[in-house]
């Protein structure tokens, strides 16, 4: 592509034509077009709030993790004064890599190319043979750059590469209260993402995965092999078919929520997902500790409802036992990181049970996840081969209910959450002047 | 070969490892499950840097109950990730044998495994560590199988077959 092609390849008109949530359809090309992908990186991934990590991944002074978040390499560190610093992993000299390890503990990062070194808060420490830059060279002007904005919400670290935009609270919007209900399952009111994470290669476009995060229609078909006991099978079948009393919400800002609070079949059952099974002393202690912080009524409510299934556009998905970060790699490939979410203050056996449930069901070898991954890959492949055909996204359009706070709700098997995501997508991709 | 275990010969251990490999490559699921000691079974595919005593996620960490569930699911015919079954061919080499605890013997090998599916070929490689022990009525049984993938730190596609 030459520079004279740039104006011609802007995807705005194509996106408007291909993405029609109000008609319940999108064109296959939206998952395959490289110009669309390039524009998504600029207009969504370089502007939105992206989930980057969790404060509990760097508990001790000097701890760091490094990872690419929305195509930009970052380092998240715990500084000497106890704060969390986020910097871009790029030497200010010639763009080299200052941190080559995925995680560790260090007082300084050093670029392998010319030895420039930086404190973990980004301050430039040392420039070899600095005299050549003259007396006017100010180290303070050449520290590692932070992303334009960094915000934390109850331990969740978000970044945005756009200097202006909504606050993180504004972005979370109606999803904030739902996320709170997950975090509040911890007796300390805090999750711990300190048990490592799975790394998954998705052979599909990131939007295909995002759609699946509000899909409660697929379970009985994709996951038919996943239910090991008759009891589990009956419950799983019931909550994902027409008779279920679950609800899907489009929360606004592209977020979606699979809400099982009315679904009696999973009440109490999710307690066994949140806590060790059986009424043993640890489970009782966990319940007592939760009541101590929240009061008996709220604790009982949260324990009954369990962890919400919540997608926060564009890259954060929280589900039963884990927190997921989605990254766009190309139009046909994405990466997914699954961090088991331990409940701070809960007994070890409760968290161990959560971890075990996560390990068996999720990760690339999990009995739930591996079938999802296969279906996504097949779907991406078929869509790519038939890209001029429409994807039907109309399920539930006739029975959506508009609510006062700007949310839309429908039956839990409906595609309302996905249409909500596509509407936000259109707003970001087709801005005037973009 | 540096096992001093007089109950188990090095040749028997290698034959067992070869047999386990053949069963896994051939998706002979029930026969593979029958190799395991139900009271001791651990099938473990860790991420690098796993340290004892901390809660850390692994790619696979199956006790016997979970192994049974894995085999049940793969035998069901409705596990999309193995419909059709992956075509597998793996090679083990550089097997080193040493004594384990409680009369067991540990065999560490390098492996390369080619997985072919209709839409992709994946090269898996790493170290596989088998802990085996004699059965009271003859033959050997499997206590632990640990697989350290060389690319465990990377984003990987579904790992739905017996690695």
Q: Give the pLDDT confidence score for residue A276 in this predicted structure.
A: 42
Q: Mutating which of A67, A329, A370, A372 best tests the B interface, going by the most B Cβ atoms within 10 A?
A: A370
B10 Cβ under 8 Å from any chain A Cβ: no
Supply the pTM of this predicted model.
0.95
A371 Cβ under 8 Å from any chain B Cβ: yes
Best CA proximity match to A308, nearest among A343, A372, A256, A264: A256
Name the minimum distance, in Å, from the CA of B117 to any CA of chain A. Answer: 11
Residues ≥6 apart with Cβ < 8 Å to A332: A32, A203, A204, A205, A380, A384
Q: Is A50-156 assigned to CATH 1.10.579.10?
A: no
Nearest beta carbon to residue B158 from set A199, A358, A374: A374
Residues of B in contact with A363 (CB under 8 A): 57-60
User: Residue A214, class by beta-carbon neighbours within 10 Å (0-12 exposed, 13-18 middle, 19+ buried)?
Assistant: buried
The span from the CA of A317 to the CA of A333, in Å, is: 18
Name the minimum distance, in Å, from the CA of B78 to any CA of chain A. Answer: 5
Given an 8 Å threshold on Cβ–Cβ distance, is A355 in contact with B55? yes
Segment 57-96 of chain B within 8 Å of chain A by CB: 57-62, 66, 69-70, 72-73, 76-81
What architecture is the A170-429 domain classified under in CATH?
Alpha-Beta Complex (3.90)
Q: Is the per-residue pLDDT at B112 higher than 90? A: yes
Given an 8 Å threshold on Cβ–Cβ distance, is B157 in contact with A199? no
Q: Give the pLDDT confidence score for residue A275 in this predicted structure.
A: 47
DSSP code of residue A165 = S
The span from the CA of A343 to the CA of A347, in Å, is: 9
**In tens digits, what is the pLDDT along chain A, a chain of 434 residues?**
555 555 568 999 999 999 999 999 999 999 999 999 999 999 999 999 999 999 999 999 999 999 999 999 999 999 999 999 999 999 999 999 999 999 999 999 999 999 999 999 999 999 999 999 999 999 999 999 999 999 999 999 999 999 999 999 999 999 999 999 999 999 999 999 999 999 999 999 999 999 999 999 998 888 888 887 777 788 788 888 888 889 999 999 999 999 988 887 776 555 455 444 456 888 889 999 999 999 999 998 898 888 899 999 999 999 999 999 999 999 999 999 999 999 999 999 999 999 999 999 999 999 999 999 999 999 999 999 999 999 999 999 999 999 989 999 999 999 999 999 999 999 999 975 44
Name the minimum distance, in Å, from the CA of B45 to any CA of chain A. Answer: 10
Residues of A in contact with B151 (CB under 8 A): none
Name the minimum distance, in Å, from the CA of B58 to any CA of chain A. Answer: 7
Residues of A in contact with B156 (CB under 8 A): 199-201, 364
Name the minimum distance, in Å, from the CA of A199 to any CA of chain B. Answer: 4
Residues of A in contact with B155 (CB under 8 A): 199-201, 335-336
Given an 8 Å threshold on Cβ–Cβ distance, is B73 in contact with A226? yes
Nearest beta carbon to residue A199 from set B79, B119, B154: B154
Q: Mutating which of B48, B61, B80 best tests the A interface, going by the most A Cβ atoms within 10 A?
A: B80
Nearest beta carbon to residue A374 from set B47, B80, B156: B80
Query: For residue B162, what is the nearest residue in chain A, using CA coordinates?
Result: A365
Given an 8 Å threshold on Cβ–Cβ distance, is B153 in contact with A198? no
Segment 96-135 of chain B within 8 Å of chain A by CB: 119-120
Q: Please, what are the domains in chain B?
A: 10-47+57-149 (3.10.450.50)
Q: Give the pLDDT confidence score for residue A434 in this predicted structure.
A: 42
Peptide bond into A183 cis (omega under 30): no
Segment 128-157 of chain A within 8 Å of chain B by CB: none
Residue range(s) of every CATH 2.102.10.10 domain in chain A? 50-156
B156 Cβ under 8 Å from any chain A Cβ: yes
A232 Cβ under 8 Å from any chain B Cβ: no
Query: Residue A408 is encoded by which pair of tokens?
Result: 């839309």
Given an 8 Å threshold on Cβ–Cβ distance, is A364 in contact with B157? yes
Task: Give ∠ CA A323-A213-A346 in degrees, rounded to 5.
Answer: 30
Q: Give the pLDDT confidence score for residue B66 in this predicted structure.
A: 94
Q: Mutating which of A276, A364, A369, A379 best tests the B interface, going by the most B Cβ atoms within 10 A?
A: A364
Task: Find residue A19's DSSP bridge partners.
Answer: A26
User: Residue A170, class by beta-carbon neighbours within 10 Å (0-12 exposed, 13-18 middle, 19+ buried)?
Assistant: exposed
A381 Cβ under 8 Å from any chain B Cβ: yes
Nearest beta carbon to residue B157 from set A201, A342, A367: A201
Residue range(s) of every CATH 3.90.380.10 domain in chain A? 170-429
Query: For residue B44, what is the nearest residue in chain A, using CA coordinates?
Result: A359
CB–CB of A67/A53 below 8 Å? Answer: yes
Residues of A in contact with B60 (CB under 8 A): 359, 363, 365
Residues of A in contact with B78 (CB under 8 A): 224-225
Neighbours of A232 (CB within 10 A): 12
Given an 8 Å threshold on Cβ–Cβ distance, is B61 in contact with A356? yes
CB–CB of B51/B63 below 8 Å? Answer: no
A225 Cβ under 8 Å from any chain B Cβ: yes
Name the minimum distance, in Å, from the CA of A113 to any CA of chain B. Answer: 25
Q: What is the DSSP string of chain B?
A: -B---SSS-HHHHHHHHHHHHHHHHTT-HHHHHTTB-TTT-EEEEPPTT--TTS----SEEE-HHHHHHHHHHHHSS--GGGSSPPEEEEEEEEEEEEE-STT-EEEEEEEEEEEEETTEEEEEEEEEEEEEEE-TTSSEEEEEEEEEETTTTS-B----S--
Q: Mutating which of B158, B162, B163 best tests the A interface, going by the most A Cβ atoms within 10 A?
A: B158
């Amino acid at each position: 592509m030459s520079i004279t092609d740039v104006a011609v390849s802007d995807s705005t008109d194509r996106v408007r034509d291909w993405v029609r949530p109000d008609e319940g359809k999108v064109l296959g090309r939206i998952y395959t077009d490289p110009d669309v992908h390039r524009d998504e990186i600029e207009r969504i991934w370089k502007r939105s709030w992206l989930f980057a990590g969790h404060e509990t991944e760097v508990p001790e002074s000097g701890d760091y993790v490094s990872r690419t978040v929305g195509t930009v390499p970052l380092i998240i560190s715990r500084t000497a004064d106890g704060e969390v610093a986020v910097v871009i992993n790029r030497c200010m000299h010639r763009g080299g890599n200052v941190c080559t390890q995925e995680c560790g503990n260090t007082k300084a990062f050093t670029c392998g190319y010319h030895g420039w070194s930086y404190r973990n808060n980004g301050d430039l420490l040392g420039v070899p043979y600095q005299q050549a830059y003259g007396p006017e060279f100010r180290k303070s002007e050449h520290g590692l750059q932070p992303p334009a904005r960094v915000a934390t919400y109850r331990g969740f670290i978000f970044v945005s590469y756009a200097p202006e935009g909504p606050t993180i609270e504004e972005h979370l919007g109606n999803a904030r209260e739902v996320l709170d209900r997950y975090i509040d399952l911890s007796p300390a009111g805090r999750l711990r993402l300190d048990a490592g994470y799975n790394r998954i290669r998705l052979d599909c476009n990131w939007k295909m995965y995002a759609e699946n995060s509000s899909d409660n229609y697929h379970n009985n078909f994709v996951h038919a092999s996943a239910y090991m006991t008759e009891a589990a099978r009956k419950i799983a079948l019931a909550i994902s078919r027409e008779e279920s009393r679950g609800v899907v919400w489009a929360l606004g800002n592209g977020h979606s929520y699979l809400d099982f609070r009315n679904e009696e079949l999973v009440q109490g059952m999710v307690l066994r997902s949140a806590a060790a099974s059986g009424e043993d002393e640890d489970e009782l202690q966990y319940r007592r500790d939760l009541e101590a912080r929240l009061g008996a009524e709220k604790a009982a409510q949260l324990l009954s409802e369990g962890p919400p299934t919540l997608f926060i556009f564009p890259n954060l998905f929280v589900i039963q036992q884990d927190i997921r970060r989605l990254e766009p790699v190309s139009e046909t490939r994405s990466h997914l990181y699954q961090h088991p979410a331990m409940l701070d203050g809960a007994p070890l056996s409760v968290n161990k049970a959560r971890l075990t449930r996560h390990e068996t069901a999720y990760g690339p070898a999990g009995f739930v996840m591996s079938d999802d991954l296969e279906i996504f890959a097949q779907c991406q492949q078929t869509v790519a081969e038939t890209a001029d055909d429409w994807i039907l996204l109309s399920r539930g359009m006739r029975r959506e209910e508009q609510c006062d706070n700007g949310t839309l709700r429908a039956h839990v098997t409906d595609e309302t959450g996905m249409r909500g995501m596509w509407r936000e997508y259109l707003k970001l991709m087709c801005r005037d002047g973009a | 070969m540096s096992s001093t275990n007089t109950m188990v010969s090095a040749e028997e251990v290698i034959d067992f490892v070869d047999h386990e490999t053949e069963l896994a490559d051939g998706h002979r699921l029930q026969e593979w499950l029958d190799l395991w000691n139900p009271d001791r079974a651990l099938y473990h595919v860790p991420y690098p840097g796993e340290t004892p005593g901390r809660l850390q996620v692994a790619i696979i960490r199956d006790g016997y109950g979970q192994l049974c569930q894995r085999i049940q699911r793969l035998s069901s015919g409705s596990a999309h990730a193995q419909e059709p079954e992956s075509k597998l061919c793996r090679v083990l080499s550089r097997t080193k044998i040493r004594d384990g605890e409680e009369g067991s013997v540990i065999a560490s090998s390098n492996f390369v495994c080619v997985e072919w599916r209709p839409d992709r070929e994946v090269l898996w490689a790493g170290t596989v560590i088998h802990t085996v022990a004699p059965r009271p009525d003859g033959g050997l049984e499997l206590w632990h199988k640990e697989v350290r993938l060389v690319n465990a730190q990377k984003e990987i596609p579904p790992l739905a077959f017996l690695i």
